[in-house]
Amino acid sequence: MVNDYDQYAAQRQKELKKGEKLPHRFVEKPAMRKLLPNLKDKKILLLGSGTGEESMLLEEFGAGPMVGIDLSKESVRLANESYPKHEFRVADMHKLPFDDSTFDFVYSSLTIHYSSTPIEVYKEVMRVLKPGGVFQFTVAHPMRWASERIMINEVPTKVMGYTEGDRPPRLYGNYSGFQVYDETFSSGETLRFWVGPPSMHFGLLRQAGFVVTDFVETKAVEETKQVDEYYFERFSRFPQFVVFVAKKS
Ligand SMILES: C[S@@+](CC[C@H](N)C(=O)[O-])C[C@H]1O[C@@H](n2cnc3c(N)ncnc32)[C@H](O)[C@@H]1O
């Protein structure tokens, strides 16, 4: 089964707490951290809060009790058990159970790429944000997630590109399209997500009424070298995720 966040919730939480998820520890969360504002006294929504670990990151920036929503019942149960000062609820990011203009800050890590209709999510976030509110989130970068896996010299290799001089050309990956991909991880978990170019998200955010104030293509941080130098080499040169900061004017 794909996207079975209930089945893998406990394992994901254990790995996140131990820092075993390298994309979170060395790529995505450091990029988010660099852009987080002062969150003291802000009303905060976590979109796709999983098992709740990201609440600790936001607390470092002064955040008090916050609300998280996630589609996975088991993730929400674990989040409430582990971080009782916050409130985690089962809900779908396409239809948020909140009044208009409720939040100052909406945070979302690695969740919006599970939507085949991100414009609906952006419009919902726009609705629940107060005027002047900020939306900070990450999605998958096509360079990493829309490249094609092929064998080169019997080594599984990710390739984004095309042959020159061939008619028709052999194409590897799809940078510009908006397409669905399945990826099976070493844990056995298969995730199905939608990947499009950063410019597509930029356009959809504007269509939803946002002003994009920051945009970052992630790079693995230097500390990665101490744990996995080859992971560092790959993901300091090739972006895995995109961070957007967008404002409701
Ligand atoms: C990769 S996890 C990220 C969890 C957390 N944000 C983190 O960074 O650790 C993606 C989360 O998105 C949730 N999710 C997927 N589709 C969703 C939807 N339509 N509405 C709300 N949550 C959703 C999944 O249940 C899962 O917990």
CATH number of the structural domain spanning residue 235: 3.40.50.150
Q: What is the mean pLDDT of the chain?
A: 97
Question: In the structure, what pLDDT confidence band is assigned to residue 188 with cuts at 50, 70 and 90?
Answer: confident
Domain membership flag for residue 233: yes
Whether 230 is in a domain gets the answer: yes
What type of residue sits at position 78?
L
Amino acid 187: pLDDT: 80
Does 12 map to a domain?
yes
Which pLDDT value is given to residue 158? 96
Q: For a substitution probing ligand 1, which of 66, 80, 114, 190 has the most ligand atoms within 8 Å of its CB?
A: 114
Q: Is residue 237 a part of any domain in this protein?
A: yes
Domain count, the chain: 1
Residue 121 has what pLDDT? 98
Has residue 150 been placed in a domain?
no
Q: Percent of the chain beyond pLDDT 90?
A: 96
**Token code pair at residue 75:** 């993730």
**The pLDDT value given to residue 1:** 84
Question: How far apart are alpha carbons 12 and 51 in whole angstroms?
Answer: 8
Going by pLDDT thresholds of 50, 70 and 90, the confidence category of residue 200 is: very high
Q: Give the pocket of ligand 1 (CB within 6 Å).
A: 5, 16, 48-50, 53-54, 69-72, 75, 92-94, 109-111, 114
Q: Is the pLDDT confidence value at 199 over 90?
A: yes
Please check whether residue 209 lies inside any domain of the structure. Answer: yes
Residue pLDDT, tens place only, 18-75: 999 999 999 999 999 999 999 999 999 999 999 999 999 999 999 999 999 999 999 9
Please check whether residue 26 lies inside any domain of the structure. Answer: yes
Question: Is the separation of the CB atoms in 134 and 69 below 8 Å?
Answer: no
Region 119-136 average pLDDT: 98
In a domain, 218, yes or no: yes
Amino acid at 121: V
The pLDDT value given to residue 211? 98
Q: Kindly report the pTM of this predicted structure.
A: 0.97
Report the nearest atom of ligand 1 relative to the CA of 16. Answer: 9
Name which of 174, 140, 141 is nearest 160 in CA terms.
Answer: 174
Write out the residue range of the structural domain in which residue 64 sits.
5-141+197-248
